[in-house]
Amino acid sequence: MEFLLYLALGACAGVLAGLFGVGGGIIIVPVLVFSFTLQGFDPSILTHLAVGTSLATIIFTSVNAVREHHRRGAVRWPIFAWMTLGILIGAGFGALTAEAISGPNLQKIIGIFALIIAVQLALDFKPKASRTVPGKVGLTVAGSVIGWASAIFGIGGGSLTVPFLTWRSVPMQQAVATSSACGLPIALASALSFMILGWHDPLLPAHSLGFVYLPALLGIALTSMVFARLGARLAHRLSPRLLKRLFAALLFCVGLNFLL
């Protein structure tokens, strides 16, 4: 039964990754926390396990989304290259930060983040394109901050990268495409860090690789890779306004659930 949940979750995450460039982690983490709680996993590690597993799934989600965006010529690869340098540094520190936070407190932090993203989506708030793309140092610094935060929240960074790039005058479709590309190094560096940090934790359930739960990873990966391409295609054809409002309502409920 749990594996069917993971398959459905992967489909939703894949569509979200391609459509909004958000990586799907903002939905994956809460659902995994709920699932792991029902499975009786230890409360002190289940949130870290959910975050680490979410980051690992984004590796698979990103690959097909990036391929589709690249095929359409929408990825700004020079921006990606310099942001990735900072992402690799920030993601490692983000994983260390998350490990130092207790499970219940980490859930509250993720809940607050979900509420912030819900409000941003509901109001369709987008920073105005008021500045040009920064230089190599600026992109590296931005990447490190985004990588650090993404590792804590278990996300691909799209909810941070897209607003940053649009603020820096990158057109929306290119911002979403480049954000999807940046999600791959974020996921790789963060997931590897969570694997290493949780490697010898005695409270982990069977079939775990550090703070990555392999059955959930497999189920989500199987469907997310297919549906990410669908989401990327929809991003170039549909106006996502209504979907954003519905997504915002869902995130608002998720955030409140984590805080109450």
**pLDDT tens-digit readout, 163-182:** 899 888 888 889 888 988 99
Of all residues in the chain, the percent with pLDDT exceeding 90 is 41
d(CA 21, CA 237) in angstroms, rounded, equals 15
Which of the pair, 232 or 169, is modelled with greater confidence?
169
Q: What pLDDT does 258 receive?
A: 84
Q: Averaged over 145-155, what is the pLDDT?
A: 92
Residue 21 has pLDDT above 70, yes or no: no
Q: Tell me how far apart the terminal alpha carbons of the chain are, to the nearest angstrom.
A: 27
83-87, 93-97, 123-127: range with lowest mean pLDDT: 123-127
In sign, the C-alpha dihedral spanning 217, 218, 221, 223 is negative
Are 234 and 18 a contacting pair, CB within 8 Å?
Answer: yes
d(CA 144, CA 85): 8
Residue 208 main-chain phi, psi, to 5 deg: -105, 145
Q: What's at 50, amino acid-wise?
A: A
Q: What interhelical angle do 103-122 and 43-71 show, nearest 10? A: 40
Q: Percentage of residues in the chain with pLDDT exceeding 70?
A: 93
Beta bridge partners of 213: 208
Q: pLDDT tier at 243 (50, 70, 90 boundaries)?
A: low
CA 217, CA 57: separation in Å to the nearest integer?
Answer: 6
Length of the chain: 260
Condensed to tens digits (0 to 9), the pLDDT of residues 176-221 reads: 889 889 989 999 999 999 999 999 899 999 999 999 999 999 998 8
Q: Which of 144-148, 157-161, 167-171 has the lowest mean pLDDT?
A: 157-161
- Give the Cα separation of 151 and 186 in Å (integer): 7
Average model confidence (pLDDT) across the chain: 86
3-class DSSP assignment, residue 208: strand
CB within 8 Å of 95: residues ≥ 6 apart = 151, 190, 193, 194, 197
For the segment 248-253, the average pLDDT, to the nearest whole number, is: 80
Query: Which pLDDT score is estimated for 71?
Result: 86
Instruction: Give the tokens for residue 26.
Output: 């903002």
Q: For the segment 39-58, what is each residue's pLDDT rounded down to a tens digit?
A: 999 999 999 999 999 999 88
